[in-house]
């Protein structure tokens, strides 16, 4: 799954990387977020079909289907959308996958390896440290009285690549959309030919991984030091504590 990521890039860097044009007029400021957690508002890139361009929007990281009347009473976990379920007609993702796909700017993402008594966080990023794009689906949610509305999104998960599987033993990782596929991913295209072929693990040889301290496990923590690799002696000490 994907339950945490980092976005160190500001509005201008995102605009340049995703070719959004001039964003000076956008009524939002993006300070770095070193511990992006679910149930928060985050920048998401969608395709504005009316304007024929990529658009940066602030959306809530928890996908809310149209049938939800009260988000507080909606108990289903929808921060992630499993790739295997996207086209299942009995599920909630189908329409959004066919026509409302999005890109989530990220500089790194987190996965945890389960250990006795704790979870060991691993951080993953591009070897060249470039900003990359997580693939997701989005939905505009409105309250029954039509007085409240907001964009909501989920990050799609796929099978793990060799690096993620080796470091965490997870059976999933977030979908990373290659730069050359960004436009195809964003545009709705033909419903008869959705981009199923892009639902694959990202190449391990382009990704790096390192252990970080357990302070990042708390969503209350949010500073640049969370990205620092654990020292060898720190890793050994923690592993010894938990019998690994």
Label residue 145 by pLDDT band (50, 70, 90): confident
Q: Quick one: which of 84, 64, 44, 59 has its CA closest to 186?
A: 44
Label residue 242 by pLDDT band (50, 70, 90): very low
pLDDT of residue 243: 38
Q: How far is it, in rounded angstroms, from Cα 241 to Cα 235?
A: 10
pLDDT of residue 199: 98
DSSP helix/strand/coil, 83? helix
Domain 5-241 maps to which CATH number in 3.30.470.160, 3.90.1680.10, 1.10.260.40, 2.40.50.180?
A: 3.90.1680.10
Q: Which of 2, 51, 233, 234 is catalytic?
A: 2
pLDDT at 240 over 50: no
Burial (Cβ within 10 Å: 0-12, 13-18, ≥19) of residue 36: buried
Label residue 82 by pLDDT band (50, 70, 90): very high
Label residue 26 by pLDDT band (50, 70, 90): low
Q: Is 192 a catalytic residue?
A: no
Rounded to two decimals, the pTM is: 0.92
Domain ranges of the chain: 5-241
Q: Which of 111, 162, 221, 233 is catalytic?
A: 111
Q: Between the CA atoms of 201, 205, 208 and 210, what dihedral angle is there, to the nearest 10 degrees?
A: 90
pLDDT of residue 117: 74
pLDDT at 30 over 90: no
Least confident of 69-73, 190-194, 208-212: 190-194
pLDDT of residue 24: 58
CB 112 within 8 A of CB 168: yes
Q: Is 102 a catalytic residue?
A: no
Average pLDDT score over residue span 78-97: 90
């Amino acid at each position: 799954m994907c339950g945490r990521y980092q976005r160190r890039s500001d509005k201008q860097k995102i605009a340049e990387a995703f070719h959004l044009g001039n964003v000076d007029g956008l009524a939002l400021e993006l300070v770095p977020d070193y511990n992006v957690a679910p149930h928060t508002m985050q920048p998401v890139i969608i395709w504005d079909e009316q304007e024929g361009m990529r658009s940066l929007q602030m959306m809530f990281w928890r996908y809310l289907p149209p049938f939800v009347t009260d988000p507080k009473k909606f108990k289903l976990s929808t921060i992630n959308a499993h790739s295997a379920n996207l086209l299942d007609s009995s599920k909630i993702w189908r329409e959004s996958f066919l026509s409302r796909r999005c890109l989530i700017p990220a500089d790194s993402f987190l996965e945890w390896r389960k250990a006795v008594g704790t979870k060991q966080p691993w951080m993953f990023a591009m070897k060249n440290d470039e900003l990359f794009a997580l693939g997701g689906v989005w939905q505009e949610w409105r309250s029954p009285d039509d007085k409240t509305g907001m964009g909501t999104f989920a990050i799609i998960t796929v099978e793990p690549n060799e690096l993620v599987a080796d470091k965490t033993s997870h059976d999933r990782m977030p979908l990373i959309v290659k730069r050359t596929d960004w436009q195809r991913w964003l545009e709705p295209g033909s419903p008869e030919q959705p981009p199923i072929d892009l639902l694959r693990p990202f190449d391990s040889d382009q990704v790096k991984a390192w252990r970080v301290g357990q302070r990042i496990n708390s969503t209350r923590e949010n500073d640049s030091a969370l990205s620092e690799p654990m020292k060898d002696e720190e890793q050994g000490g923690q592993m010894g504590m938990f019998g690994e």
